[in-house]
Amino acid sequence: MMTDDTDPSQSTRMEPARTVRVGLSDRSTVLATVVVAACLLVGAAGIAGLAAADHGDDGSGPVPAPAAYYGDVTVNGEPAPVGTEIVAMVNGEPHGSIEVTEAGQYGGSDALDRKLVVRKAEAGDEVTFVVRDTTAAETATWESGDVQEIDLTFEGVPDQSESDTDDDQTGETETPESGTPDDQGTPNGDEGSGDGSAGGGGGGGGGGGGGGGGGGGAAAGGSDTGSEDDATGAGPATDVAQALSEAPVVSEASADVAVEDGANRAAVTFDADTSPVDSITFESDAVEGTVTVAEIDREATETSVPGSAASVSRIDVPDSATDQAATVRMRVSTDRLSELDAEPSELRANRFVDGQWQALETTVAEETDSAVVLEAETPGFSYFSVSAVSEPDAAIALDPATSTSGSSVTLDGSDSTTEHGEIVAYDWTVDGDSYAGETATTSFDEPGEYEVELAVTNDAGETDTATETLVVEAATAPATADQGTQAPTTSGSDGGSGSDDGGNGNDDGGLPVFWIAGGVALAVILLGAVVRVRADDGRSRDPL
């Protein structure tokens, strides 16, 4: 009987103990599972983050690491001078540049040295290297993350001054300050006088022809400064001289020099029907011989007479009088004035000397129904012309009239006009910078109001200036979701990354989406684990 009573009681007491041990074991298993799952989730999220960080802004795929180059560099057989810019080109487009800071070397081999970095290329692309439009003999094959030492050799590179001249001819490149030649070969103003007595202060003569055209002297014909094309802005000076010597002679008249009665000076007079020159009076009475006036075809455009030509002639005097000062009176018919649509006050005499036309101080000496007679002082003799000149009218057009910071603005002076001749120089001044050309392009980094000034010069050396105010507004930043504008959502069909801003995988607050998703998943797992543990714990306490 004792045996029967003891065995059932012992069996009854041990059963709950076994149930409790089973419950504790289950909870440990569940908690271990939760920990492992959490670790896996965090690791997966980190990997996803790294993958996302390695994608481009458009979500199209990983951005490859750039390639970098360095080495020695020679230009025209000499070490490249400091300041030389080397541009890396891929498929005809610049993809990076570096400036030589140590003669004969670009970049350096040390990890912290600057290098010529080339980005956004594809494996296998050919990289070429350019200095002032000249391509090096060496090339590179682009590979992501590649760092190569490549010694570059450039031959036939133009001098910096030649390159700058080529740039100026586009009308869109910054040029030196005024006083240096512009892209038309015409002085910007400092060289306008030529030789003083030969019209250096041209047009200063009162109410007569050419009056008021101050400074027209050398500017009327350009200057030898800068290039051979300076003479009147229309071609090399030697070409003009040759054109004058080869131009057809329309008429020719000769007359003997005679000493005027009661005066210590010699003079010669021509008939109005045979010569555009009315008379010549020398300051000395020692001049003897014959003076010949040959009228040249004024339609010969190669002679490059400033303004609108009324007459062109060559005056041959005795050798002793070639450099003799004199007063020349020249005649222009009223019919010719009508053809030019000019007024007598617009007429000016010019003398060709030192390869260019120089304005002479000119006055209107006489007006009749048939002709206008001009009087001009000359320091010597060669070719002479009479032309109608006028002041130009400068006009500025800005495109756009109101710009934003960082945006390009086109400066256009093509609406500028001149009644006689042509405009040969456009000089821009914008916020302290100078540009040359009929059009130019500039931009401003800071908002504000900027004065744009344009000075135009015609082939007679006359100038006019216009100003306009350019308004530059601050650039508007792109709207974002947290600035009150709802960002469009994407489903992947537009090539985005599936985020609400279509680009970087972030939500409106900037928190990466994969972290949000991972947090939600982890919370669900933890909640399920707690429920399971509590359920097991409840069962372990159940006596049945």
Measured CA distances, 4 to 9, 10, 15, 16, 461 (Å): 9, 11, 18, 21, 138
pLDDT of residue 499: 39
User: Are 275 and 265 a contacting pair, CB within 8 Å?
Assistant: no
Average pLDDT of the segment spanning 19-37: 51
Pairwise CA distance, residues 115 & 70, whole Å: 6
CATH number of 392-473: 2.60.40.10
Average pLDDT of the segment spanning 487-504: 40
Q: pTM for the whole thing?
A: 0.46
Strands 152-154, 67-75: parallel, antiparallel or unpaired by DSSP?
parallel
CATH architecture of the domain 67-154 equals Sandwich (2.60)
Out of 85-99, 120-134, 212-226, pick the least confident. 212-226
pLDDT of residue 63: 59
pLDDT of residue 501: 43
User: Are 395 and 419 a contacting pair, CB within 8 Å?
Assistant: no
Query: CATH 2.60.220 region(s) of the chain?
Result: 240-388
pLDDT in tens, 424-475: 999 999 988 899 999 999 988 899 999 999 999 999 999 999 999 999 999 8
pLDDT in tens, 343-395: 999 999 999 998 889 999 999 999 999 999 999 999 999 999 999 999 999 99
pLDDT bracket for residue 23 (50, 70, 90): very low
End-to-end CA distance of the chain: 27
> How much is the CA Rg of the chain, to the nearest whole Å?
44
Pairwise CA distance, residues 384 & 303, whole Å: 11
Residue 314 has pLDDT above 90, yes or no: yes
Residue 318 has pLDDT above 90, yes or no: yes
pLDDT of residue 194: 39
Measured CA distances, 271 to 275, 278, 382 (Å): 6, 7, 20
pLDDT of residue 291: 95
Residue 259 has pLDDT above 70, yes or no: yes
pLDDT of residue 392: 96
User: Are 424 and 184 a contacting pair, CB within 8 Å?
Assistant: yes
Pairwise CA distance, residues 267 & 256, whole Å: 9
pLDDT in tens, 277-296: 999 999 888 889 999 999 98
Pairwise CA distance, residues 96 & 85, whole Å: 10
Residue 511 has pLDDT above 60, yes or no: no
Comparison of pLDDT for 63 and 280, the residue scoring more = 280
E strands of 257-307, at which residues?
258-259, 266-269, 277-282, 290-296
Pairwise CA distance, residues 480 & 529, whole Å: 40
Three-class SS string for 220-269? HHCCCCCCHHHHHHCCCHHHHHHHHHHCCEEEEEEEECEECCCCCCEEEE
Query: CATH 2.60.40.10 region(s) of the chain?
Result: 392-473
Pairwise CA distance, residues 415 & 456, whole Å: 11
Residue 78 has pLDDT above 60, yes or no: yes
| Range of 161-175, 202-216, 343-357 with top mean pLDDT | 343-357
The DSSP result for 488-529, as a single string, is PP--STTSS-SSTTSSSSB-TTS-BHHHHHHHHHHHHHHHHH
Residue 423 has pLDDT above 80, yes or no: yes
pLDDT of residue 530: 59
CATH architecture of the domain 240-388 equals Sandwich (2.60)
Measured CA distances, 372 to 72, 212, 308, 320, 326 (Å): 72, 19, 16, 30, 20
Which three-class secondary structure state does DSSP give residue 302? helix
Residue 164 has pLDDT above 70, yes or no: no
Work out the mean pLDDT of the chain and round it to a whole number: 74
Query: Residues, the chain, total?
Result: 544
Average pLDDT of the segment spanning 323-345: 93
